[in-house]
Amino acid sequence: MATSNTPTKKRDTWGSKLGFVMAAAGSAVGLGNIWKFPYTAGESGGGAFVAIYLVFVIFIGFSVMLTEFAIGRRAAVSAASAFKSTDRRWTFVGVIGVVSGLLIMGFYPVVGGWSIAYIFKVSTGLLNTPEAIGDSFGGFISNPVQPLMWMGLYLLLNVFIVVKGISGGIEKAGKILMPLLFAILILVAVKGLSLPGASAGLEFLFKPDFSKVDSSVVLAAMGQAFFSLSLGMGCMMTYGSYLKKKENLVQTTAMVTAMDTGVAILAGVAMFPAMFAFNMEPSAGPGLVFVVVPQLFAEMGGLIGLMLALLFFVGLSVAALTSSVSLLEVVVSYLIDEKGMKRRTAVISSSIFMAMLCVFSSLSLGGVGPTLFDTGAFDIFDLLTDKIFLAVGGMLICIFAGWRLNRSDLEKEITNDGEISFPLFGLWYNLVKFVIPAAIAIVAFTGIKAGFDSGKGEIMLIGVGIIGIAALLSKKL
Ligand code: PHE
């Protein structure tokens, strides 16, 4: 199928139903699940964070994803154009989504690059000296040059896939490689659980201690839910715009949410028991998976350990790729639909911009480059997107669906003109119209307030300011 988005031609659609579910799950399952979820859970006290995260996934994540699919399929254009064609005052929500895509791609490829680098590090003897694995990671990410080269390679892979277009590139990659990753994770988890002392890790992950919870933990859990499910920035909307009219949106949403959450929990089970067995700190930070997993396989030793470690980082790199291509696609489809660019030009120009942001992010980890309120570029991009833009974006998408769109149009879209029954429609509608916007507003407000103690509140507030300005300029966007 050719990739063409000119309004006169029929828009591309996904080759098959499984193809769509796998591609949407491919977008959702990524570094967010395997790299971010375990270390955020570790830093946020474990079980209670995980419990709150699950509540957000079920009550907010599911509903927001269904909303994005419905709006996207109904409009059949990129996110910003979907808002614009209904009401120009709402264009900013789509544009903020594009900005989120750019900013997430300002740090995601850095970590994606680490993952590819680890394929090579593992094959060139990283596992031979288990005691040096931790220091080796620290030395690697703070090196000014090496990580940049890997990041560059990672971004090039993205460019290649996205230039090829929807069903050609993304769908095929997702179909083959997602199940492989799942299998490797199960193996890692089984190995971790077999170590002596591993049960303390399970307890840490699943036994909630709510005394450790404050508003920053709640905001972190909400941000994690949005980030992991690829919500709040029009990504699932854009994917939905390529979806055929006869597919069952509710079922698709349930499958994608379940897969994404399953992989995150599995990644937790793969990592924490091993960490406790190795006497490592659960709050080890962003290096967690790059230290624990190699250590685990070094422990295993021999050719099997080596092969599994290799497969793990291949799988992680692929999972990261199927997510970052979806981020790039949001920006690219905006440039195609709204700015009339050719696909190739759109991909190349946006990736050059992303590469520049990534240079700042990567250098900031070695303490080089500009800071804002004592925070480096990597953390700024993460804070702005994960904590503010995605959640507030999700809130605005819900308000748009609940208050600007027609209830009966939404019902028609979700039930495929009455062909599919969705008995919970009323519940979903009321969640989207009232409960979710209010819940997000409260969590964001209290979370930003708590963030002032650690110096992060200021940056999150700037994020809110940017959204406000975009809203005011909406008609000009
Ligand atoms: N969900 C992806 C992950 O977990 C990241 C992502 C966020 C992708 C937002 C698209 C949109 O890695």
* Structural element, H or E, at residue 81: helix 79-86
**In 240-357, at which residue ranges do the beta strands (DSSP E only) sit?**
none
The best mutation among 224, 323, 387 to test binding of ligand 1, ranked by most ligand atoms within 8 Å of the C-beta, falls on 323
Contacts of 391 (CB under 8 A, 6+ apart): 219, 222, 223, 226, 232, 440, 443, 444
Q: Are the beta carbons of 163 and 343 closer than 8 angstroms? A: yes
In the reported structure, the alpha carbon of residue 73 is separated from the centroid of ligand 1 by a whole-number distance in angstroms of: 20
Ligand 1, atom 10: closest residue by C-alpha: 230
Sign of the four-CA dihedral 363, 365, 367, 369: positive
Which residues, in sequence order, are bridge partners of residue 371? Answer: 376
- Do residues 33 and 110 touch, judged by C-beta distance below 8 A? no
Give the pLDDT confidence score for residue 180 in this predicted structure.
Answer: 78
Atom of ligand 1 nearest to the CA of 31: 12
- Centre of ligand 1 from the C-alpha of residue 99, in Å: 14
- State pLDDT tens for residues 381-397: 999 999 999 999 999 99
Within 6 A (CB) of ligand 1 lie 27-28, 30-33, 104, 227-228, 230, 233, 235, 323, 326-327
Residues contacting residue 86 through CB under 8 Å, at least 6 positions apart = 75, 400, 404, 405
* pLDDT at 144 exceeding the cut of 60: yes
Residue 435: pLDDT over 50: yes
**Cα torsion through 183, 289, 294, 48, rounded to 10:** -80
**How many A from CA of 323 to the centre of ligand 1?**
5
Q: Is the pLDDT of residue 245 over 90?
A: no
Rg of the Cα trace of the chain?
Answer: 21
Token pair recorded at residue 91: 């264009």
Q: What integer pLDDT is reported at residue 169 of this predicted model?
A: 55
Region 261-275: mean pLDDT is 95
Q: Give the C-alpha distances (Å, rounded to integers) separating 375 from 264, 367, 455, 460.
A: 27, 10, 8, 12
- Inter-residue contact 20 to 178 (CB < 8 Å): no
Quick one: which of 141, 326, 159, 156 has its CA closest to 228? Answer: 326
DSSP string for residues in 142-160: H-SSHHHHHHHHHHHHHHH
Whether this model's pTM surpasses 0.85:
yes
Distance 299 CA to ligand 1 centre (A): 31
User: What are residue 64's phi and psi, to 5 degrees?
Assistant: -70, -40
| Ligand 1 center from residue 219 Cα (angstroms) | 17
- Cα 128 from Cα 236, distance rounded (Å): 42
DSSP calls for 89-140: GGHHHHHHHHHHHHHHTTTHHHHHHHHHHHHHHHHTTGGG-GGGHHHHHHHH
* CA dist list (Å): 406 to 238, 411, 471: 20, 9, 22
Q: Which domains does the chain have, with CATH numbers?
A: 20-476 (1.10.4160)
pLDDT confidence of residue 2: 38
Calculate mean pLDDT across residues 59-84.
Answer: 94
> Of ligand 1's atoms, which has the minimum distance to the CA of residue 232?
9
d(CA 107, ligand 1 centre) in Å: 12
Alpha carbon of 229 to ligand 1 centroid (Å):
6
pLDDT, mean of residues 278-292: 89
Tell me if residue 375 falls in helix, strand or coil: strand
Q: Separation of 165 CA from ligand 1 center, angstroms? A: 19
Whole-number Å distance between alpha carbons of 352 and 360: 13
What is residue 372's DSSP assignment?
A: E
CA of 199 relative to ligand 1 center, distance in Å: 30
For the chain, counts of helices (H) and of strands (E): 24, 2
In a 3-state reduction of DSSP, which class is residue 75? helix
Contact by Cβ (8 Å): 221, 41: no
Report pLDDT for 105: 98
Q: Ligand 1 centroid to 16 CA: how many Å?
A: 22
Mutate to test the pocket of ligand 1, among 327, 354, 386, 397 (most ligand atoms within 8 A of CB): 327
| pLDDT, mean over the chain | 91
Ligand 1, atom 11, lies closest to the CA of: 230
Name which of 265, 250, 284 is nearest 42 in CA terms: 284
Q: What is the mean predicted confidence (pLDDT) over 62-71?
A: 97
Rounded Cα–Cα distance for residues 451 and 101 (Å)? 23
152-178: b or e for each residue (b if 16 or more CB lie within 10 Å)? eebbebbbebbbbbbbbbbbbbbbebb
Sign of the torsion formed by the C-alpha atoms of 183, 23, 316 and 222:
negative
Q: Atom of ligand 1 at shortest distance to CA of 319? A: 12
Between the CA of 426 and the centroid of ligand 1 the distance, in Å, is 29
Q: In angstroms, what is the span from residue 198 Cα to ligand 1's centroid?
A: 30
Atom 6 of ligand 1, nearest CA residue: 230
In the three-class reduction of DSSP (H, G, I as helix; E, B as strand; rest coil), residue 371 is classed as strand
Which residue has a Cα nearest atom 9 of ligand 1?
A: 230
- Ligand 1 atom with least separation from CA of 235: 11
Q: In ligand 1, which atom is closest to the CA atom of 320?
A: 12
Residue 229 Cα: closest atom of ligand 1: 1
Residue 171 has pLDDT above 80, yes or no: no
Q: Which amino acid makes up residue 119?
A: I
Closest CA to 275 of 189, 400, 355, 347: 189
Indicate the SS3 state at residue 106.
coil
Strands 371-372, 375-376: pairing is antiparallel
| pLDDT higher than threshold 80 for residue 297 | yes
Among 33, 78, 227, 257, say which to mutate for ligand 1: greatest number of ligand atoms within 8 Å of CB. Answer: 227
In 3D space, the residue among 210, 215, 285 whose CA is nearest the CA of residue 452 turns out to be: 215
| 244-248: Cβ within 8 A, 24+ apart | 244/13, 244/14, 245/73, 245/416, 246/416, 247/17, 247/20, 248/416, 248/420
The tokens for 285 are 């930070």
Is the pLDDT at 3 greater than 50, yes or no? Answer: no
Is residue 170's pLDDT more than 70? no
